[in-house]
Amino acid sequence: MASLQPLAWWESFADPALNRVVEAVLGSNADLAVAAARVEQARARARVADAVRLPSFSATADVNDLDLPTNAGIGAQLDELGLGERLADQFGLSLPDRLGLTTYNLGAQFAWETDFWGRNRNLRLAAGAEQLASESDYHAAQVSVLAETIGAYLELVDLRRQRDLALETIGLLAESDELTESRYETGLAGASERYAARRALSEARTRLPGLETGLAEAESRLWILLGGYREDIAGLLPGSLSLAEASEPEPQGIPAELLAQRPDVAGARQRMEAARFTLGAREAELLPALSLSGSIGLQATEVGDWFDPDQWFSNLGVNLLGPALQGSRLRDNVALAEAQLREATALYGQSVVTAVHEVEAALAAFDAGRRRHEVLLAYVNDAEAESGLQAQRYANGIGSYGEVLLAGQVRAGARAALSTAERDLGLARLALHRALGGAWTVDVARSSETQAASLGAIADYANE
C-alpha cells in the first residue's frame, strides 16, 4: 500500500521514543489493519467496475453425443404424418432402430454493450470515487489511532514526571515533619503546626497510588493500540521520558486547501461525487441499450475436420433493447439516487463546517496553552532561584532549614504544574494536528485577516 504511506507529522514533537512507539503502532494496530482491508476491497470493486467497459470473451469447447430411439424422434413424427410406410414402399428406405450423432464444437463468443448514455462510465467513476473515499477513511483512521497513541504517550510522560515529583515532595515533607516534631518536642512549635505537617505528608502520600494507577492505565492503552502486549515495551518506553520542545512552529493561518484535504472532508467529497455518478447511471437505465454479440468457431463430426476451412462458422448479432416494463422501479431508482446525492451533499457541507470550527477551536486552545506554558515556565525559574537562594542563606547561617524545605516544596509544585502545562500544550498541538488531518506546512503563515478569509472560503465552497 505505497500510496497510503503517512506524512510523519508526529516527528514535529522531536521525541525519538515517541517515534518508535508510533512506528510500532503503524505496523501492528488492528483498527488500521481493518481500514487497510477495506481499501483493498474498494480497489477490487473499482477494478471490477472498470472491466465493464471492455468486451467480454469466452472460449467454448464441447462434444455433443446424440443417441435416441428412432420411434421417439423423427421416426415417430413420420409415422404420425403417414410417411413412414410410404417411404419404405416407394424408395425402399427404412429407418434404423436408433439414431446416433457426435458433434465436436470449438469456438469463441464475445459480447459488448455500447455505452451511449454513460451508464457504465458513471458506474466506473462511482466505484473510483468510493475507492478514494475508502482511502480517505484509512487516513482518518490513521490520524485517529495516532492521536490516541500520542495522547496516551503525553499522559504517560506527565504521569511519570508527576510520580517523580510526588516522591520528591514526600521526601521534603518527611524532613519537614521530622523538623516540626523536633521543634514541637523542644517547645518551639505548637500542636497545630505539628499536625499540619503530618497532614501535608499524609496528603502527599495518598496522591501517589492514584498516579501509579494512572500510569498503569496509560500503559494499557498503549498496549491495546500496539495490538496486544509487546515484549519490547521496555525498549519502546525507556525509564526516563522527556518530551522535547516541538521543532516546528505553530501555524498562524490555515489555507482552505489544507482543510479540503482533511481525510473526513476529502472522504465526504468523494462520496458526494460517487452519489452524483450513481445518479447518472440510474438515469441512463431509462434509455435504450445497444449491445453486440457474436461467436466464431468450427463444428464437425470428426475431430480431424477441425482444420477444414469449410467447417468454420461465425455469427454476429446487434440488439437494441429498451427499458422493460417494470412498473416504477427504474424511476424509483432515480429518485433514490437523487435522495442519496442530497444526503451526501449535506454530509459534505457538514464535514467542512465541522472542520472549520474544529481548527478554529484548536488554534485558540493551542495559543492559550502556549501562553500558560510561558507563565508557568517563568514561575518555575523564579521557584528555582528562590530555592537556590534559601539553600545559600542556610549555608551561610542566616536562614533556617525549614525555609529551605519550604522553597523545595514550592519548586516541586511549580515543576509539577509546568509538567501538566507541557502535557496540555502537547495535547493542544495534537488536537490541531488532528483537526488538520495530520500535518501542517511551515510556509502557511498568514495574517489573522487572511486566516479568516481562508476559513470563510472553504465554508462558502461547502454550501455551493
Q: 72 vs 49, which has greater pLDDT?
A: 49
- Given a cut of 90, whether residue 277 has pLDDT beyond it is yes
395 or 377, which is more confident? Answer: 377
pLDDT in tens, 406-421: 888 899 999 999 989 9
**What residues contact residue 286 under an 8 Å CB cut-off, 6+ apart?**
323, 330, 331, 334
With a pLDDT cut of 70, the percent of the chain lying above it is: 72
Could you tell me which residue, 231 or 428, shows the higher pLDDT?
Answer: 428
Q: How confident is the model at residue 290 (pLDDT cuts 50, 70, 90)?
A: confident
State pLDDT tens for residues 239-261: 666 655 554 555 555 656 667 77
Which of 107-116, 119-128, 245-254, 451-460 is the least confident region? 451-460
CB neighbours of residue 87 within 10 Å: 13
Residue 462: its pLDDT value, please? 41
Residue 48: all three cell numbers together: 471490477
Q: Is the pLDDT of residue 66 over 60?
A: yes
Taking residues 430-440, report their average pLDDT: 81
**Main-chain dihedrals φ then ψ at residue 146, nearest 5 degrees:** -70, -35
Higher pLDDT: 169 or 91? It is 169
Classified as helix, coil or strand, 209 is helix
Residue 458 in this model has a pLDDT that exceeds 50: no
Between residues 59 and 278, the one the model is more confident about: 278
Please tell me the pTM assigned to this model. Answer: 0.72
Residue 59: predicted pLDDT = 79
Contact 66, 100 (CB under 8 A): yes
Which of these ranges, 17-26, 144-153, 225-234, 406-415, has the smallest mean pLDDT?
225-234
pLDDT of residue 255: 59
Amino acid at the residue 194: R
Q: Is the pLDDT of residue 163 over 80?
A: yes
Contact 270, 130 (CB under 8 A): yes
Q: DSSP letter at 8?
A: -
Contact 34, 268 (CB under 8 A): no
- When mean pLDDT is compared across 23-37, 47-61, 154-168, 213-227, the lowest value belongs to 47-61
**What is the residue-averaged pLDDT of the chain?**
77
Domains and CATH numbers, the chain: 2-53+118-287+329-462 (1.20.1600.10)
Q: What is the DSSP string of 88-142?
A: HHHH-----SEEEEEEEEEEEEEEEE--TT-HHHHHHHHHHHHHHHHHHHHHHHH
> What's the pLDDT score for residue 337?
92
Residue range 292-309, pLDDT digits in tens: 777 777 777 676 666 666
Contact call for residues 380 and 414 (beta carbons, < 8 A): yes
- For residue 363, the number of C-alpha atoms closer than 13 Å in the C-beta half-sphere is 17
Distance of CA 277 to the CA centre of its chain: 24
Region 216-231: mean pLDDT is 79
What is the pLDDT, as a whole number, of residue 382? 93
Does the pLDDT of residue 196 top 90, yes or no?
Answer: no
- Distance CA(424)–CA(422), nearest Å, equals 5
For position 102, what pLDDT does the model report? 76
* Pairwise pLDDT comparison (277 vs 1), residue with the higher score: 277
pLDDT band with cut points at 50, 70 and 90 for residue 4: very low
- Detail the DSSP E strand segments found in 301-382: 312-321
What average pLDDT does this structure show over 300-320? Answer: 67
